[in-house]
Amino acid sequence: VDIYSLHVDCRVTSRFAHTVITSRIVNRDNESREVSFEVELPKTAFITNFSMSIDGKVYPGIIKEKAAAQKEYDTAVSRGQSAGLVKIRDRKLELFHVSVSIAAASKVTFELTYEELLKRQLGKFELLLKVRPKQLVKHFQIDVHIFEPQGIRFLETDSTFMTNELTEALTKVQNETKAHILFKPTVDQQKINPELDETLLNGDFVVRYDVKREATAGDIQIVNGYFVHYFAPSEMPVFPKNVIFVIDRSGSMSGRKIEQTRDALLKILQDLRPEDHFSFITFNSKVAEWKSSLLPATEENVASAAAFVQTLSASGGTDISGALLRAVGVLDRAESLPERSVSMVILLTDGQPTAGETNVEVIQEKIQKAINGKYALFCLGFGFDVSYKFLEKMALSNGGIARRIYEKADAALQLQDFFQEVATPILTKIEMQYPENAIEGLTKSNFTLFFEGSELVVSGKISNGLDLLPVEIKAQSHTSDLTLKEEVNVKEKEQIFQDRRYIFGNFIERLWAYLTIQQLLEKAISAPEEDQKALEAQALELSLQYSFVTPLTSMVVTKPGDQQQGELANKPTEAG
């Protein structure tokens, strides 16, 4: 079986990435063979289309409501295989895999399309393409087109498999607002060595970039009546933070996990700023405070904390509730903290609550009542024995986020990276305001915290006949209360995207739908049950309308008549 052509075509228009992967395969054998198509795609992306064409006949993927698709195909799908064609691969990727049997000398073309909004982290956008053809490919090509009307500030490519020979196959053309990256290695360039038919192409191909920004109320772009507003202020004073690290030292953390936690905490301590305050609470069946109050991050206190971290060992049960309530108590009692500062609790656990209060609903309720909107709670789940759903609901209900830490060699680095993302809060209580009667379907526009290096994104539909779109942003910085205003000319903004041949016309509308679905699903996690249904119904309607494979829809992959019918491609979630 020979993959004679593999083309990855990716168009990024104003952070919204549209990727099409086309693989052409021929069966050179004289009997029928099973051929496979595998794509690793970012977890943050939604599949929007898939088709197989065998000897000219097209078998499309059809997107349906998940429950209906499941019911329809349960008879054909052998039990226990309902996870279907997509599964989680690692912390960034999921794997789409489909196989089909084709006759001798037959050709098949697989085509998969997915879309995602690139998220700014630590000052850059990252487009991750996984390259793993597992054989030499006669026509191999990666094309990345980027168009950023704000202007491209910097652009870099990075790859885990590049050699000097392969670098010659990479070209980069760039002007003020556009870039084209082409990677087109010949068969000889793909070889590990001239004698062997083994490929070097195995790993990540990454494009990182950032855009230029004027120091104003962000940037607004408009296409076909839909707008997107990007806001990422920089060079602002950083809020002092008051952080309590709540660290699980129950028996299951022993060995490598507690070592990696120690390594990460030692590095994180070095990243604290002198104006920050911090403390540690550790827990197994018992809850222990390192100090009875928060301490300023002086050199002396940081050194003393580092000595304490070195002594962390693991045994016993898991009293998550007791530990979190103790952390909230320390913040509640804290005196002499900087007046304008940001308080947060960072929980790291690898298991379910087994000591103290063990009912997760009760814990969630207690914590939410205790925090009462005053502090942000971040929950890090180490490995796969945690109830991720519980941690995610708790974090989202308390102004934070949850993240799974994968039990890999780089776990300490994953912990540090997470801390870096939340280490520099520069705005709080951000309200992005638009004329009420002129905008429909506005996505989330109030945010509790903004961290340096990230970006706030708001999108909506502008009602007809609006010539000027005024926006106002209110927020608090460390030193003052801000009000930023801007007014954009709708027609002028629409002009920017005229005559751009490689732009998929309604991309801001699709971006709006993508963002709305993501936010509805996130809201549903921490909503009361009766609201959950309504939020999910709304998200389902949009998923079907814009044909996205989301956790509420399935793609039914049809195959030639004589083969097992209808496999399902579902969207896996971190909570399973």
Band of pLDDT at residue 215, cut at 50, 70 and 90: low
Band of pLDDT at residue 115, cut at 50, 70 and 90: very high
> Helices 388-397 and 507-526 sit at what angle, rounded to 10 degrees?
100
Residues 515-526: what's their mean pLDDT? 92
pLDDT for the residue numbered 474: 96
CA proximity to 26, closest of 137, 191, 184, 141: 137
- Give me the CATH code for the 2-212 domain, please: 2.60.40
Residue 87 has pLDDT above 80, yes or no: no
Residues 129-153: what's their mean pLDDT? 92
pLDDT for the residue numbered 558: 76
Residue 73 has pLDDT above 80, yes or no: no
Q: Pick 225-235+426-504's CATH classification: 2.60.40, 3.30.70, 2.130.10, 2.30.30.
A: 2.60.40
Sequence letter at residue 423: A
Residue 37 has pLDDT above 50, yes or no: yes
CA proximity to 535, closest of 551, 522, 549: 522
Give 377's strand partners.
Answer: 345
Residues 38-66: what's their mean pLDDT? 90
- Sign, CA dihedral 557-559-561-567, equals negative
pLDDT for the residue numbered 55: 86
Band of pLDDT at residue 205, cut at 50, 70 and 90: very high
Stretch among 195-204, 244-253, 561-570 having the lowest mean pLDDT? 561-570
CA proximity to 466, closest of 495, 490, 486: 490
pLDDT for the residue numbered 79: 43
Each residue of 145-169: pLDDT tens digit? 999 989 999 999 999 888 888 899 9
Residue 76 has pLDDT above 60, yes or no: no
Distance of CA 565 to the CA centre of its chain: 33
- Tokens 């329809």 locate to 72
Residues 176-201: what's their mean pLDDT? 90
Structure tokens at 288: 């222990």
Sequence letter at residue 571: K
Tell me which of 565 and 302 has the higher pLDDT. Answer: 302
Residues 495-503: what's their mean pLDDT? 65
Each residue of 451-483: pLDDT tens digit? 999 999 999 999 877 889 999 999 999 999 999
Q: For residue 123, what is the DSSP state?
A: T
Task: Identify the CATH class of 241-423.
Answer: alpha beta
Band of pLDDT at residue 80, cut at 50, 70 and 90: very low
Instruction: Indicate the average pLDDT of the chain.
Output: 89
pLDDT for the residue numbered 81: 41
pLDDT for the residue numbered 499: 59
Share of the chain above pLDDT 90, in %: 57
Residues 223-243: what's their mean pLDDT? 91
477 backbone φψ class: left, alpha, beta (φ>0; ψ -120 to 50): beta
Share of the chain above pLDDT 70, in %: 95
Triad 386, 390, 391: Cα angle to 5°: 70
Residues 182-186: what's their mean pLDDT? 94
Residues 381-395: what's their mean pLDDT? 90
Domain with CATH 2.60.40 in the chain: 2-212, 225-235+426-504
Give 349's strand partners.
Answer: 381
pLDDT for the residue numbered 562: 58
Stretch among 84-93, 122-131, 363-372, 511-520 having the lowest mean pLDDT? 84-93
CA proximity to 567, closest of 69, 45, 21: 69
Residues 223-252: what's their mean pLDDT? 92
Residues 49-65: what's their mean pLDDT? 89
Q: In this structure, are residues 10 and 143 in contact, taking their beta carbons and an 8 Å threshold?
A: yes
Q: Where are the alpha helices (DSSP H) in 28-102?
A: 66-74
Which residues have a Cβ under 8 Å from the Cβ of 239 and sit 6 or more positions away?
A: 340, 341, 342, 425, 426, 428, 477, 478
pLDDT for the residue numbered 564: 57
466-496 b/e with 16+ CB inside 10 Å = b?
beebebebebebbeeeeebebebebeebbee
Give the three-class secondary structure for 276: coil
pLDDT for the residue numbered 501: 56
Residues 46-74: what's their mean pLDDT? 85
Distance of CA 261 to the CA centre of its chain: 23
pLDDT for the residue numbered 462: 93
Residue 563 has pLDDT above 80, yes or no: no
pLDDT for the residue numbered 505: 64
CA proximity to 525, closest of 460, 569, 574: 574
pLDDT for the residue numbered 566: 65
Domain with CATH 3.40.50.410 in the chain: 241-423
